[in-house]
Structure 1
Amino acid sequence: MAGARSIELPAALADWLASHADALDTTQALASEVVPRLAEARLFAIGVPEALGGSGGDVRDAIEAIAAVAERSLTAAFVFWGHRTFIEYVLQSPNGALRERWLAPLLRGEIAGATGLSNAMKFLSGIESLQIAATQADDGWRLDGGLAWITNLRKEGFVAAAAVTSPAGGPPAVVAFRSDAAGVARSDDLDLLALRGSNTAAVKLHAVPVDEADVITHDALNWLPAVRPAFLGMQCGMSIGLARASLAAAHRLCTTTRSGLLDRVEALQGELADAVEQLQEGVADGRFKTAAAPMFRLRIALADIVQQAALLELQGSGGRAYLMNHDRNFARRWREAAFVPIVTPSLTQLQMALQKQAASAGAP
């Protein structure tokens, strides 16, 4: 496979993100604008086959696109990840009717896509039970349960994925449900410390109808490991972009005021580049589909790089970083960096999964 290309954002989008990153982080005022602006820039088409309306490439290109957005706004990148991950589910679903119905509107940003499978990924690693149950009805299934935290639940309309227990003891399935379906209740936006413009909320389902056209897969246990590299890989794009932004700022600061930090900044930039290369190679050759542990370790390593990068930016700024009129981008990136370890699956959950795997491998 050819290497993933570098992604350069259209100037209009880059300028808008730079101008509104603080508002996206601290308010809900611009939450409705993120999906349309990303769609207008054709970012959702990156990594989608041209034959299906995309611009070609693969998941590696989508990772780089999310990273490019995260360099300017982690809120927008978080929305991008949720939407593009749902698109990936549609692409990897064996259900052609689902793809025919949703792919084009998703690419155009006419409806928001919400990944909803954080619970499923934790279930797959033995961390959490499924939170939604499906029961049989005459015309399909009915869904009951809820998810406590989903991003990109756009008030103007969304379609979300969820893993569900199947009726009659069948294997878990993954289904899509619409915001306008009977029985779907979206909460108010969660009162977040940051990333407040990401349309992040909880959702409850009561007897929500779904039929065969809504089923992403009937076999979640086999399908989820295949889609997990895209789910986590694109999530890592958020860490990559944020770390690049903090390290670039730290580098600028250290060349003028604190040159003693420069070696540490450049060494961390090298670590970041190595981690990105490992991630891209693993996503490209498919190794992460059968070996999740190396990808978990990369996600943990990238989160650690983000924390170190933010600290180096702080040290490069010194006391000026605490002045409100100095550089609001630093304060925003500091808050954004606090989110990286807890986005599901959190570092604690990944470490638990690695410990379970190690214990299982060592069992007689």
Structure 2
Amino acid sequence: MTELRTWLDRHALALDEGDAAASQALLGQLGRSGVLRVGVPAAQGGAGGSLGDAVDAITEVARRSLTAAFVFWGQRAFIEYLLLSPNAGLRERALPGLLAGREAGATGLSNAMKFLSGLEQLNVRADGSGPWTLQGRVPWATNLGAGFRVALAVARDDGGPPLIAAVPQDRAGVTRSGDLDLIALRGSQTAALTLAHVGIDESDLIHPLAREFLPRARPAFLGLQCGLSLGLAQAALDAAREHLGPARAVLGAPLAEAESALSSHRAAVLDGLADGRFFGDAPALFRLRIALAQDVQAALQLELLASGGRAYHRDQPLGFARRWRESAFIPIVTPSLSQLQSELARAGA
């Protein structure tokens, strides 16, 4: 992990700005460091531990680069899908390359999570009753590096229940766009996918029943995602603490309060994943995601105030400008804060 920290500190800005060499090297760096194996059973090639340990690993990466943590999250979420899948053949074929960082796993399930909440229809459809032919478009998927597989929720035109499939990059009919022109996290290999007459069969299925699989996968999808906010907020609070001098001592109390809130929210995420409460109480996890997004905004504000005018200078090696750009992503990553708030309102009603 020490070597990975050093590499991330050196390349954080390059990853944010979309440097091609850093972007292409990132997944291999994550693989060689061993972090992709955290929370994966040893019997499956992992390092053991819990899903909470994986959240902490993503948090540690996010302290240094949200781009790297976002890619890490996508890869680790895809790995979790395979661990939850009844398709042992797919898991045995795909898991070694994913754990080593030789192959990329893209979640592609943002649309599916909105579908699960009744917010969207599925963007990909299947003709046939198995094998199937896929048609559709994925407007946003992350970690679309070389040799990727993308997890997709698929509606069936034969009237059967929606399914979850893992579609490889080299399958005929899969077209990747160029990287999306983002304002930050540009090295995350985020692009759109078009599927035209793409053939799949049962060997490609993560799960034949999307409505059964998605609620089981959602705690991991969202719980691992919490590591993005935890790491970014912690980095900003650490920077604020470092720059807190006598002239800004008035910030001491709010800084301590922000640190306490972040610690409390981290504990709540880890406890909920450990005891399984989020499987039966999704709103509790939604509220934590919202609270952590607020923690990020409070932390960045404190970092700005503690750093003063230096934070506004591009020639200062503070990292504040990068973290400020990164923080704009937290409220909109699927499910966005507005979607979570809508879900909570619906649950309350």
Which one-letter code corresponds to 1:240 in the other structure? Answer: L
In the aligned structure 1, how far is the partner of 2:34 from the partner of 2:313? 38
Q: What pairs with 1:269-280 in structure 2 (closer than 5 Å)?
A: 269-280=259-270
Structure 2 CA distance, aligned partners of 1:164 and 1:350?
A: 23
- Aligned-pair CA distance for 1:167: 3.9
Report the secondary structure of 2:219's partner residue: helix
Q: Distance in 1 between matches of 2:161 and 2:247?
A: 60
**Contact kept in structure 2, 1:181 and 1:209, CA below 8 Å:** yes
Partner of 2:34: 42
Deviation (angstroms), 1:209 = 0.8
3-state SS of the aligned residue for 2:128? strand
Partner of 2:188: 198
Separation in 2, partners of 1:118, 1:28: 26
Deviation at 1:328, TM superposition (A): 4.3
**1:280-300 CA-partner distances (Å, limit 9, x unpaired):** 111111111111111000000
SS of equivalent residue, structure 1 residue 129: coil
Aligned position for 2:312: 322
Of 69, 89, 100 in structure 2, the residue corresponding to residue 77 of structure 1 is 69
Provide Cα deviations, 1:68-97, integer angstroms capped at 9, x if missing partner. Answer: 000000000000000010000000001111
Residue correspondence of structure 1 range 148-297 to structure 2 within 5 A: 148-154=139-145, 156-297=146-287
Q: Matched residue of 2:192: which SS? A: strand
Q: Output the TM-score relative to the length of structure 2.
A: 0.98
Amino acid at match of 1:117: L
1:67 aligns with 2:59: yes
In the TM superposition, residue 169 of structure 1 has moved relative to its aligned partner by 1.2
- The superposition leaves residues 40-64 of structure 1 with CA deviations (integer Å, 9 ceiling, x where unpaired) of 0011100000011100011101100
Structure 1 runs not aligned, ≥5 long: 1-9, 360-364
* 3-state SS, counterpart of residue 260 of structure 2: helix
Counterpart of 2:158 in 1: which secondary structure? helix
What amino acid is aligned across from residue 203 of structure 1 in structure 2? Answer: L
Q: Which is further off, 128-137 or 234-243?
A: 128-137
Q: Does 2:143 match 1:123?
A: no
Which amino acid counterpart does residue 274 of structure 1 have in structure 2? S
* Partners of 1:37 and 1:70 in 2: CA distance: 14
The CA distance in 2 between the partners of 1:88 and 1:28, in whole Å, is: 29
Structure 1 Cα separation of the partners of residues 154 and 318 of structure 2: 42
Shift of 1:257: 4.1
Q: Which runs of 5+ in 2 are unaligned?
A: none
Distance 2:243 2:119 in 1: 42
CA shift for structure 1 position 166: 2.2
Q: CA deviation at 1:338?
A: 0.8
Rounded Cα–Cα distance in structure 2 between residues aligned with 1:190 and 1:216: 27
Alignment partner, residue 362 of structure 1: none
Farther-moved stretch of structure 1 (164-173 vs 50-59): 164-173
What is the root-mean-square deviation of aligned Cα atoms in Å?
Answer: 1.1
Question: After superposition, what is the alpha-carbon deviation per residue over 1:89-130, rounded to whole angstroms, capped at 9, x for unaligned?
Answer: 000001111111111111111110001111111111111111
- The amino acid of 2:105's aligned partner reads G
Which 4+ runs in 1 deviate beyond 2 A? none
Name the residue aligned to 1:19: 10
Name the SS for the 2:243 alignment partner. helix
8 Å contact kept, 1:257–1:316: no
**Aligned-residue offset at 1:11:** 1.6
Paired amino acid for 2:304: L
Rounded to whole Å, the distance in 1 between the matches of 2:108 and 2:160 is 21
Is 2:135 aligned against 1:144? Answer: yes
Aligned to 1:3: none
1:2-45 deviations in whole A, cap 9, x for unaligned? xxxxxxxx221101100110110012321111100000001110
**SS of aligned partner of 2:151:** strand
- Equivalent AA in structure 1 for residue 73 of structure 2: W
Amino acid at match of 1:73: S
Cα deviation, residue 318, structure 1: 1.2
Q: How far apart in 1 are the matches of 2:223 and 2:341? A: 17
1:106 aligns with 2:98: yes
Question: In 1, Cα distance between the equivalents of 2:18 and 2:156?
Answer: 39
Q: How far off is 1:327 after superposition?
A: 3.1
Match of 2:297 among 299, 307, 330: 307
1 CA distance for matches of 2:252 and 2:147?
A: 47
Q: Counterpart of 1:353 in structure 2: which amino acid?
A: E
SS at match of 2:328: helix
User: Which whole-Å CA distance do the structure 1 matches of 2:318 and 2:15 have between them?
Assistant: 13
| Length-normalised TM-score, structure 1 | 0.94
Deviation at 1:135, TM superposition (A): 1.1
